Amino acid sequence: MHFRFTTAGESHGPALVAIVEGLPAGLPVTAAFVDAQLARRMQGYGRGARMQIEQDRIEWMGGVRSGETLGSPVAMRIANRDWANWKDVMDPEGTPGEHRRRQVTRPRPGHADLVGVLKYDRDDARDILERASARETAARVAAGALARRLLEEFGVGIGSHVVSLGGVRAEPPAALPSPLNDAADRSPLRVLDPHAERAMRGRIDEAKAAGDTLGGEVEVVAEGLVPGLGSHVSWDRKLDGRLASLLMSIPAVKGVEIGLGFEAARRPGSAVHDPILPEPVRGASVRIGYDRLTNHAGGLEGGMSTGEPLVVRVAMKPISTLMTPLATVDLGTGQAAAAQSERSDVTAVPAMGVIAEAMVAIVLADAMLEKFGGDSLGELRRNVEGYVAALRARRAGA
Amino acid sequence: MHFRFTTAGESHGPALVAIVEGLPAGLPVTAAFVDAQLARRMQGYGRGARMQIEQDRIEWMGGVRSGETLGSPVAMRIANRDWANWKDVMDPEGTPGEHRRRQVTRPRPGHADLVGVLKYDRDDARDILERASARETAARVAAGALARRLLEEFGVGIGSHVVSLGGVRAEPPAALPSPLNDAADRSPLRVLDPHAERAMRGRIDEAKAAGDTLGGEVEVVAEGLVPGLGSHVSWDRKLDGRLASLLMSIPAVKGVEIGLGFEAARRPGSAVHDPILPEPVRGASVRIGYDRLTNHAGGLEGGMSTGEPLVVRVAMKPISTLMTPLATVDLGTGQAAAAQSERSDVTAVPAMGVIAEAMVAIVLADAMLEKFGGDSLGELRRNVEGYVAALRARRAGA
Amino acid sequence: MHFRFTTAGESHGPALVAIVEGLPAGLPVTAAFVDAQLARRMQGYGRGARMQIEQDRIEWMGGVRSGETLGSPVAMRIANRDWANWKDVMDPEGTPGEHRRRQVTRPRPGHADLVGVLKYDRDDARDILERASARETAARVAAGALARRLLEEFGVGIGSHVVSLGGVRAEPPAALPSPLNDAADRSPLRVLDPHAERAMRGRIDEAKAAGDTLGGEVEVVAEGLVPGLGSHVSWDRKLDGRLASLLMSIPAVKGVEIGLGFEAARRPGSAVHDPILPEPVRGASVRIGYDRLTNHAGGLEGGMSTGEPLVVRVAMKPISTLMTPLATVDLGTGQAAAAQSERSDVTAVPAMGVIAEAMVAIVLADAMLEKFGGDSLGELRRNVEGYVAALRARRAGA
Amino acid sequence: MHFRFTTAGESHGPALVAIVEGLPAGLPVTAAFVDAQLARRMQGYGRGARMQIEQDRIEWMGGVRSGETLGSPVAMRIANRDWANWKDVMDPEGTPGEHRRRQVTRPRPGHADLVGVLKYDRDDARDILERASARETAARVAAGALARRLLEEFGVGIGSHVVSLGGVRAEPPAALPSPLNDAADRSPLRVLDPHAERAMRGRIDEAKAAGDTLGGEVEVVAEGLVPGLGSHVSWDRKLDGRLASLLMSIPAVKGVEIGLGFEAARRPGSAVHDPILPEPVRGASVRIGYDRLTNHAGGLEGGMSTGEPLVVRVAMKPISTLMTPLATVDLGTGQAAAAQSERSDVTAVPAMGVIAEAMVAIVLADAMLEKFGGDSLGELRRNVEGYVAALRARRAGA
């Protein structure tokens, strides 16, 4: 089985929708659990007024009964709170005339606006940006929350923290706190280095004053994985490619790296690969009776989980909507113009971490279902436990 | 339609196989064209003896007649030249006893060896490493050569060059040569900076002497794309995610970035996004009548091609097989041991560039077929030309 | 590109949901058009009281603005009118205790009840039947309505009629009316033979009196197709297999045949294959300048559309919920029992025809997008017209 | 996980190829086992001379070592024995001039010839028919043989028999022999009714004399399935649709039915659905402690296996190549002509049964992998046995 997810909905349309399939029956879920993830997505110093408007709540449309999944597709609806104000402009069946009021003809560099209207042959970039908007990631986070819920049952925890923002690099502690989010969520920028955080806030304030925007980098860590998720046998089953696919598809993400990442390209092999030890030392891989002194591989070898923490880093470019607008072209006149600007955030890097966690959760849940099958939570648990017991028995017999 | 590709085969088995589907009928292809790409994959200073053994040639098994594709699946077979020497060990139906001669029980850190035997429950890591080997990428390059052939018909050229190796960073010329590979393929390390290349060769010699290995970074550039390949509407149709998926699935790749990549995360938005100009200036996007002064986005906005050159960078860790072996565990005894080592390359970074080109070609061919359909080359051409003409007409009418 | 569709929702849950992706931007759509198809699904002599309760209406949740598709996923919600009465029983987060009131422990033979509770490890067959219910087909019909809308733009019309019900076989006119549904929808049983219809109504009345149920057969016809949809080159691209897949997946369908179908297995080849004529005679395939005297193939040769009408027939078994219940087992006690029975229809064969039309529409829209690509309606039209013009030119040049 | 399979190759090209992925590691396989299935495909009274030429043998190209699968893709090559005689005509890189010798310009009604050349824009129908040929099914049978091998490990047996040929209907024994193929393979027409078989042979002789061809119907039965394969929750996961998809994609198949099939549409519900009994009676479903007196459903309820034998019937039209050719058009002149005819079989219905078995095996293996996961045979076995034990425990506790 696979974890499938589909999203729909425009930023100022009536709602966002997410449908998730593949969860076993009997998984306990609550709207509150999903909403808590949605709330985490809205945090972060440097966000604009919209974040107050959006108090995202899911409404179950299917797949859940009496607090448990049924095995059928789980459908969630997230109402757009601002819909009432946009109804005329975004009305599915209104007259185009009305829509012109908020027509966007001066495409923002860096956004989907220009290429979108060319590809889809539209004369209003709003027809593009409403879907290309990062608002869509709320539906992804809702889907990811269900994946996270499943992984929790198997002791897998996923967290993230901001490692750089606006050019300021954090120095996180050598040993990350666990659970990671207990610490990271306490920081307004989700940074584990108070000193750097202060500098980042300064940068945000400066950028805001200049009408500019900022990007940054986030690190996501998943702990508690069994070894052997993913596969080396075909390109589309390697876990690293699957992670990169979902992470790079997050709006504004321009880079993804695993473990040492780009740094691994600079070191000799003797300083990259993680020696294998016959006895548990750090304890991370204690389940299988082998251990590593380092985890430069970021928990993946041969496209498969090693049992060590999975570590990925994601780079986000600055938001494309600047209050001090960039040069562009007016699609109506063909002349130079200043890009459209709506009120916007200065940075969304902390939020991006939450989205990236969701993407990682989805890939890992997918890989669990692929390896273990299982139509009920009990069946999945039996299959996972049988595998772990066999690994232990094998080690004992070595 | 989509471009589908499947590979099979072990490193020392009888052959590698690639099946490609989705190419329109009537595309001129030759084995020589594919073989030329396979030969490029085998080049590079720092490769071991195996590269001389492998003089890869494809043999058509289906889908091609009289020098043209038929629209049916194209199947290619690449014989493993060394098969005669490995027949006893790798015989599909031989007795296990014979195989023990080359049994691998001391897994190499960094490779699929350990997690593979756990996942697939094998007692010989050779059962894993034979498929996890980078040899599989020969089949990918063959598949990619057909994608490249298709793209050529539409004026799309794909090249690559090494931008860092063993910690030495190249300073390529500000304006890359075009076609890029005419220059890059003349260099034994595929580097566009002779000074850096000399330093890289020094590092390779040192690493070889030390029994160590080296990684590096490659930049791939695709020119001549129409705008609008990929889509912003769903996560799995965004071109950036699709590129990252195939690139990160290349063995030993640990990082992927697009355009400015991680650097974009450090700059303010005003120094990242590429202003849109009403007139052709650099000429890159002349087809649609808009231009950009910069291409920090690397040719992708909103998950779609902008018409500017597509630019991606890929980081490869050092090869996992070291002549000075790393610490590991003997799976038979459970005791500490030195990792198995077979003769191996010091670095494969230049080859990785060729593989990355193939991956980019496949993603772009796929996106072309997705957008334009087309069962014959003529039909595909008519559809592409109709689209480009409509873009021009639209611009003229603005 | 492909036409993708996903549905979710339980029969007595809050709503059904359908998400459709792949429609080009700029396709005119209205909720009224979709609702009209939903209304057709609810018709038919022999339906129970629920059909009055269900006055299905879609609500757009995304993908449509100002009466046109945007190219983004189209999401539709169909509220379950009876939800208020089932809220306690089906509450996503209610207590299980409340649910027991409508617990189903005596599985109905013929339904998913028994195997579903075993597979998904549930103790209430309601957890299964709510999704296995034919109510799900409302979401399919909504998705199919959008496919139908797209096909209309290209002159493709899809209709159906009942050819047998409860063992009574209709004798439809040799030449079917066109458009087929103009005639079929006027009949309460969607039958084109008034005499047979009378007999069918008699059977329905008898079955109702006996607490029994009835099945039947429907024929679906699609006219106006270009030749060359689907492909012979791979098993999963053949149009016949794709049609069979969706049609056989309709609840209660047990048989699918194309053209002569099972009758073709009984005749000699000389009485099965449709001779090709050099001039238009019947006019069906006039677009390409060839014609056929017969259409025993049902519009498909080699897994591709021939340009002749596509003709498929679908057999539906009687509804599994009988008022005179069948023998079963009580899952609680393990003892023999009478199957649960809720108020139900005697037959749903006329409705099944509407559902089958929707499935055919989806397969054909998918095949159009696969062959022609196209992100906007204009682009798709240009590509289709270019192909048809090329076929004509080829014929003229022969 | 899923069972994936890909085929390539033309009828008179160098070879056919099949790649299969998803098989767990450690499955014992031999070429002899696969070849035996290929040999069964070539049997049958009424086959032409080609069947003697084809003595199909697979050659492993990957995925198998020492008589066991490795978990990697399994690639098989079936050389076309007649290739030497066709090399000039089918040479992948020969000159088109040479090919003209066997050019096909008079398309056969009923075959892919005409629509294929239109769709793919070819002037030689050989470019189409070489792939549309039923020869491709050899690759399917090879793939299916591996699926069959997997299912054997779990006690699942698949057989078939011809139930009608050329209009003659067999009366098979009420209780089919088990294993079915032990009996069916002993008959030259794979018929379990000697009287009918004699009549069928007479029809074949008559058809041969008349230059005509014959079709027929086959029934496939799979025994030993666990309940709960497939799923009711989404259209594309229902086992009935998946079976219909692969079966209807077999060349010349025009109808598929499950269990009672079309007959179910004619009976009242009380004579269709299979009552559930609290105790084993016939023993078929003994594993789960429930039984049925009848199996009209053909082993599927709600798109899931019930544990009863899976029963499907498939209708094949007569072969499209008639020695007494049908009327057609010469594509070169545009004038009326007689269809091309090459030496061909009178009927291939017995062979089709073998192919249909392979398709059923693939669907069932896929459903096993989907439900149970499992990377090694041992892991898959543990997961299956855990599920069956849980079903038994549940029944005992009822």
- pLDDT at A286 > cutoff 80: no
Peptide bond into B325 cis (omega under 30): no
Search chain C and give the residue with CA nearest A127: C70
What mean pLDDT do residues B160-173 have? 97
Say if CB C238 and CB D137 are below 8 A apart.
no
Cα distance between residue D395 and residue D388, in whole Å: 11
Cross-chain residue pair A304–B333, CB shorter than 8 Å:
no
Return the higher-pLDDT residue of C287 and A391: A391
Q: Domain D4-97+107-396, what fold?
A: Chorismate synthase, AroC fold (3.60.150)
Least confident range from A84-98, D27-41, D88-102: namely D88-102
DSSP at C255: E
* Tens of pLDDT, residues C191-236: 999 999 999 999 999 999 999 999 999 999 999 999 999 999 999 9
Q: Which residue is closest to B9 within chain D, CA to CA?
A: D62
- Chain B residues whose beta carbon lies within 8 Å of the beta carbon of residue C374: 371, 373
- Indicate yes or no: CB of C92 within 8 angstroms of CB of A131: no
Per CB-CB distance under 8 Å, the chain D contacts of B149 are none
Q: Could you identify the residue written with the tokens 């008699």?
A: C202
Calculate the alpha carbon distances from B314 to B134, B217, B243, C89 in Å. Answer: 16, 6, 11, 54
Q: What average pLDDT does range B51-65 have in this prediction?
A: 86
Look up residue B345 and give its two tokens.
């390359």
Report CA-CA distances (Å) from B355 to A70, B106, B140, B218. 44, 29, 7, 10
Q: Please give, rounded to a whole number of angstroms, the shortest distance from the CA of B181 to a CA of chain C.
A: 32
**What is the pLDDT at residue B287?**
61
Inter-chain residue contact D16 with B62, CB threshold 8 Å: yes
Dihedral class, residue A319 (left if φ above 0, else alpha if ψ from -120 to 50, else beta): beta
Average pLDDT over residues A81-100: 84
Contact yes or no for C16 and A99 at CB 8 A: no
Q: Does D43 have pLDDT greater than 90?
A: no
Decide if C9 touches D, using CB distance below 8 A: no
Which residues in chain C are contacts of D122 at CB distance < 8 A? none
Question: Does residue A13 carry a pLDDT above 80?
Answer: yes
Q: How far is C397 from chain B (nearest CA, A)?
A: 17
Q: How far is A344 from chain C (nearest CA, A)?
A: 23
Name the maximum alpha-carbon separation found in chain A.
77
Q: How many CB pairs under 8 A join A and C?
A: 192
Q: Measured between CB atoms, which of C115, C217, C315 is closest to D301?
A: C115
pLDDT category at B98 given cuts 50, 70, 90 is low
Q: How confident is the model at residue B1 (pLDDT cuts 50, 70, 90)?
A: confident
User: Per-residue pLDDT tens for D114-159?
Assistant: 999 999 999 999 999 999 999 999 999 999 999 999 999 999 999 9
Select from D20, D65, D234 the residue whose CB has the most chain A CBs within 10 Å, as the one to mutate to test that interface. Answer: D234
Residue B387, chain C, CB below 8 Å: the answer is yes
Q: Which residue of C has its CA nearest to D332?
A: C398
Crossing angle for the helix pair C349-372 and C137-152, nearest 10 degrees? 50
**Residue contact D386–A390, C-beta within 8 A:** no
Percentage above 70 pLDDT, chain D: 95
B398 chain-A contacts, CB cut-off 8 A: 331-334
State the pLDDT at residue C49: 56
pLDDT mean over B221-231: 97
With contact defined as 3+ CB pairs under 8 Å, the chains touching C are A, B, D
Mean pLDDT of C5-34: 98
Q: Would you state the pLDDT for residue B46?
A: 72
**Residue D94 binned pLDDT confidence (cut-offs 50, 70, 90):** confident
3-state SS, chain A, equals CCCEEEEECCCCCCEEEEEEECCCECCECCHHHHHHHHHHHCCCCCCCCHHHHCCCCEEEEECEECCEECCCCEEEEEECCCHHHHHHHHCCCCCHHHHHHHCCCCCCCCCCHHHHHHHHCCCCCHHHHHHHCHHHHHHHHHHHHHHHHHHHCCCCEEEEEEEEECCEECCCCCCCCCCHHHHHCCCCCCCCCHHHHHHHHHHHHHHHHHCCCECEEEEEEEECCCCCCECCCCHHHCHHHHHHHHHHCCCCEEEEEECCHHHHHCCEHHHCCCCEECCCCCCCCHHHCCEECCCCCCCEECCEECCCCEEEEEEECCCCCCCCCCEEECCCCCCEEECCCCCCCCCCHHHHHHHHHHHHHHHHHHHHHHHHCCCEHHHHHHHHHHHHHHHHHHHHHC
Q: Could you say which DSSP state residue C326 is in?
A: P
Residues of chain A with Cβ-Cβ distance to D382 below 8 Å are 383, 386, 390
Cβ–Cβ below 8 Å for D6 and C334: no
Name which of B100-104, B191-195, B385-389, C147-151 the model is least confident about. B100-104
CB spacing of A390 vs D370 below 8 angstroms: no
B268 DSSP assignment? B
Helices marked H in C215-297:
239-248
Amino acid type, C207: A
Contact status of B390 with chain C (Cβ, < 8 Å): yes
The CA-CA-CA angle for residues D73, D74, D75, to 5°, reads 110
Q: How far apart are the first and last CA of chain C?
A: 32
| D383/A390 touch (CB, cutoff 8 Å), yes or no | no
Give me the residue from B1, B233, B382 closest to C370, CB to CB.
Answer: B1
Min CA distance, C112 vs chain A (Å)? 13
CB pairs under 8 A between A and B: 362
Going D271 to D276 to D281 to D282, the CA torsion angle's sign is: positive
Cβ-nearest to B92 among D64, D121, D127 = D64
The larger pLDDT score, comparing residue C237 to residue B291, is at C237
Cβ-nearest to D373 among A71, A233, A370: A370
pLDDT tens per residue across span A199-249? 999 999 999 999 999 999 999 999 999 999 999 999 999 999 999 999 999
Give the tokens for residue C40.
């057709």
Q: Give the list of residues 6+ apart from residue B174 with CB closer than 8 angstroms, or none.
A: none
The larger pLDDT score, comparing residue C228 to residue D397, is at C228
Choice between B367 and C341, residue whose per-residue pLDDT is larger? B367
Token pair belonging to B94: 């031989």
Question: SS3 letters for chain D?
Answer: CCCEEEEECCCCCCEEEEEEECCCECCECCHHHHHHHHHHHCCCCCCCCHHHHCCCCEEEEECEECCEECCCCEEEEEECCCHHHHHHHHCCCCCHHHHHHHCCCCCCCCCCHHHHHHHHCCCCCHHHHHHHCHHHHHHHHHHHHHHHHHHHCCCCEEEEEEEEECCEECCCCCCCCCCHHHHHCCCCCCCCCHHHHHHHHHHHHHHHHCCCCECEEEEEEEECCCCCCECCCCHHHCHHHHHHHHHHCCCCEEEEEECCHHHHHCCEHHHCCCCEECCCCCCCCHHHCCEECCCCCCCEECCEECCCCEEEEEEECCCCCCCCCCEEECCCCCCEEECCCCCCCCCCHHHHHHHHHHHHHHHHHHHHHHHHCCCEHHHHHHHHHHHHHHHHHHHHHC
B210 to chain A, any CB pair closer than 8 A? The answer is yes
CA pair distance B106, B113, nearest whole angstrom: 8
Pairwise CB contact (< 8 Å): D278 & C112: no
Contacting B residues, span 251-290, partner chain A, CB-CB under 8 Å: 251, 253-262, 264-270, 272-278, 288, 290
What is d(CA D8, CA D77) in angstroms, rounded to the nearest whole number? 10
Res. C283 pLDDT band, cuts 50 70 90: low
pTM here is: 0.97
- In angstroms, the separation between the Cα of residue B372 and the nearest Cα of chain C is 4
| One-letter amino acid of C101 | R
User: Residues for chain A: how many in total?
Assistant: 398
Are residues C370 and B374, on separate chains, in Cβ contact within 8 Å? no
Given a cut of 80, whether residue A49 has pLDDT beyond it is no
B51 has pLDDT over 60: no
- Kindly state whether C95 is in contact with chain A, defined as any CB-CB distance less than 8 angstroms: yes
Asked whether residue D287 carries a pLDDT value surpassing 90, the answer given is no
Among chain D residues, CA nearest to C264: D317
CA distance D195 to chain A (A): 47
Short-list A217, A216, A207, CA closest to A322: A207
Instruction: Tell me the pLDDT band of B285, cut-offs 50, 70 and 90.
Output: low
pLDDT mean over C137-162: 98
CB nearest to B387's CB, from C228, C231, C379: C379
- pLDDT category at C287 given cuts 50, 70, 90 is low
**Is pLDDT at B93 greater than 80 in this prediction?**
yes
Considering only CB atoms, A121 lies closest to which of C8, C25, C96, namely: C25
Give the model confidence (pLDDT) of C289-299 as tens digits: 788 989 999 99
Domain ranges of chain A: 4-97+107-396
Q: For A347-397, what is each residue's pLDDT tens digit?
A: 999 999 999 999 999 999 999 999 999 999 999 999 999 999 999 999 887
pLDDT at residue B210 in the model:
96
β-bridge mates for residue C268, sequence order: D214
Contact list, B378 vs chain C (CB under 8 Å): 390
Cα–Cα distance between C282 and C244 in angstroms, integer?
Answer: 28
The model's confidence at residue B291, banded by pLDDT at 50, 70 and 90, is confident
How many Cβ atoms are within 10 Å of A277's Cβ, its own excluded? 17
Which residue of D93, D113, D129 to mutate against B (max B Cβ within 10 Å)? D93
Q: Residues 26 to 85 of B: which have CB under 8 A from any C CB? A: 71-73
Record: contact C265-D249, CB cut-off 8 A = no
Q: Give the other-Cβ count within 10 Å of D171's Cβ.
A: 11
3-state secondary structure (DSSP) of residue B31? helix
Residue B8 pairs in a beta bridge with B17
Chain C CB contacts of A74 under 8 Å are: 8
Q: Looking at chain B, which residue has its C-alpha nearest residue A18?
A: B234
Q: Is the pLDDT of residue B106 over 80?
A: yes
pLDDT digits (tens, 9 = 90+) for D317-359: 999 999 999 999 999 898 999 998 877 799 999 999 999 999 9
The structure tokens listed for C185 are: 């929808």
Assign C326 a pLDDT band (cuts: 50, 70, 90): very high
User: CB-CB: which of D118, D274, D302 is closest to C391?
Assistant: D118
Inspect the interface and report whether the beta carbons of C302 and D270 lie closer than 8 Å. no
Phi and psi at residue D114, to the nearest 5°? -70, -55
Is B383's CB within 8 Å of C390's CB? no
